[in-house]
Amino acid sequence: MTQFVLPDLGEGLHEAEIVMWHVGPGDHVVADQPMVSVETDKAVVEIPSPRSGHISRLLAQPGDLVEVGEAIVEFADGAAADAGAIVGTLRTAAAEPERHDLPAPPSGRRATPAVRRRASELGVDLASVTPTGPDGTITSADVEAVATAVARASSGIEPLRGVRRAMDANMSRAHAEVVPATVTDEADIGDWDQHEDVTLRLVRAVARACIVEPALNVSFLGRDVGRRHNEVIDLGVAVDTADGLFVPVLRDVAHRSADDLRDGLEALKRDVAARTVPAEELKGQTITLSNFGVFAGRHAALVVVPPQVAIVGAGRVRSAVVAHQGQPAVRRVLPVSLTFDHRVVMGSEAARFLGALVTDLEGSS
């Protein structure tokens, strides 16, 4: 038998979750045929078969977290690996002992007495277990997996997977490293066209504020290294999904037309919704925008994720009585928040940035 291990998916990723197998035991596959889809903290990735041959067994099930280098599928011997097709590693598995002595459980599947005893202890019906062992043999791990799934379902506990797992890691790092401070303001947008695209105006305003006060468009690489001034403004735009929060990146926003930015935004949203956004489009942002006001809220102290030093938040547009041309008037106002890393950014720099942002938002289209 020859085993294929989860390949290095790049981006410093150490594990992935099995989402869906496109093949099963006994199937004949050809090199580069889609074999399995896995989910990382970035996206869903399709892994092709490294060779032609027959699938002997699957060593991981949907929902399993698998580490890079861990075996996920076993091929029957008799076909050589195709040159140039391997994206991971093929290795020869230790020979499995013959199991002619295993009595069949009532479910019709094969299991050792120890495995059946463990299933009885855990209250697991072997008929509900999907076997992963050789020749349809139920293993202890199969029984434990069913018991764990049942316990989670009954307790309401949901393990963190994929995007939420990555969010836990990123937010924990941010909490440990960043010294956050927040300033807020409101922009009078009463002169905007009725159909003005709020997100596009915010993108433009962030770009212009970065030009006025470039200290917010830097990357902090640590006390021993310092900060890097970014010549290009690569804006991360927070996009909410049922699976969690994604932050795809709009590149070089200061030098793109409104139509180009609009097309870019829509493309990123479509890719995120379909979980097909390339991993390179989810990294390298120099500053982030969160338009949380589409849901609710005015101001927010958002989380700055290193090495960025700032994030801009936009609250819900509302009507308010404000001074306009020397007289009180009911106008539309847009609340804006700026959270920055006070280790790197001075309060005066943050205030200048926010002032430039509001000025641009209050200007004409």
d(CA 174, CA 304): 6
Check whether 183 has a pLDDT greater than 80: yes
Of 105, 133, 155, the residue at which a domain comes to its end is 155
Same domain, 195 and 63: no
Percentages helix, strand, coil for the chain (3-state, rounded to 5) are 30, 30, 40
Domain enclosing residue 191, as ranges: 163-362
Give the torsion through C-alpha atoms of 51, 57, 62, 65, to 10 deg.
Answer: -80
Give just the sign of the alpha carbon dihedral 340, 341, 346, 349.
negative
Residue found by looking up tokens 């927010």 in the block? 300
**Of 79, 104, 83, 340, residue with least CA distance to 210:** 340
In DSSP notation, 207-258 reads HHHHHH-GGGSEEE--TTT-EEE-SS--EEE-EEETTEEE--EE--GGGS-H
**Three-class DSSP category at 328:** strand
Check whether 105 has a pLDDT greater than 60: no
Same domain, 16 and 139: yes
d(CA 78, CA 52): 10
Alpha carbon 14 to its chain's center: 14
pLDDT tens by residue, 323-340: 999 999 999 999 999 999
Q: Which residue has the higher pLDDT, 216 or 162?
A: 216
Q: Which residue has the higher pLDDT, 13 or 362?
A: 362
How far apart, in Å, are the Cα atoms of 2 and each of 56, 111, 214?
A: 9, 24, 55
Of 155, 183, 199, the residue at which a domain comes to its end is 155
- What pLDDT does 100 receive? 39
- What pLDDT does 62 receive? 84
Least confident of 41-45, 57-61, 225-229: 41-45
Of 155, 188, 215, the residue at which a domain comes to its end is 155
Q: Which residue has the higher pLDDT, 153 or 94?
A: 153
- For residue 23, give the CATH number of its domain: 2.40.50.100
Same domain, 39 and 100: yes
Q: Give the chain's domain count.
A: 2
How far apart, in Å, are the Cα atoms of 229 and each of 143, 212, 238?
A: 55, 14, 23
Check whether 106 has a pLDDT greater than 60: no
Same domain, 148 and 254: no
Check whether 93 has a pLDDT greater than 70: no
What confidence category does residue 99 fall into, taking pLDDT thresholds of 50, 70 and 90?
very low
Same domain, 221 and 303: yes
Residue found by looking up tokens 């917010």 in the block? 216
- What pLDDT does 351 receive? 97
- For residue 250, give the CATH number of its domain: 3.30.559.10
Q: CB count, 10 Å around CB of 171?
A: 12
Give the torsion through C-alpha atoms of 346, 339, 310, 322, to 10 deg.
Answer: -90
Both structure tokens of 133: 């062992």
Same domain, 111 and 253: no
pLDDT tens by residue, 28-46: 999 889 999 888 766 778 8
Same domain, 327 and 304: yes
Both structure tokens of 175: 């909490």
How far apart, in Å, are the Cα atoms of 300 and each of 295, 336, 344, 353?
A: 13, 8, 20, 17
Best-predicted range by mean pLDDT (56-70, 78-92, 93-107, 328-342)? 328-342
What confidence category does residue 343 fall into, taking pLDDT thresholds of 50, 70 and 90?
very high
Instruction: Give me the helices (H) in the chain, please.
Output: 113-122, 140-155, 162-177, 198-212, 258-273, 347-362
Same domain, 140 and 209: no
Same domain, 62 and 80: yes
Same domain, 182 and 112: no
Instruction: Answer yes or no: are the C-beta atoms of 308 and 219 closer than 8 Å.
Output: yes
Same domain, 183 and 118: no
d(CA 62, CA 21): 7
Same domain, 124 and 75: yes
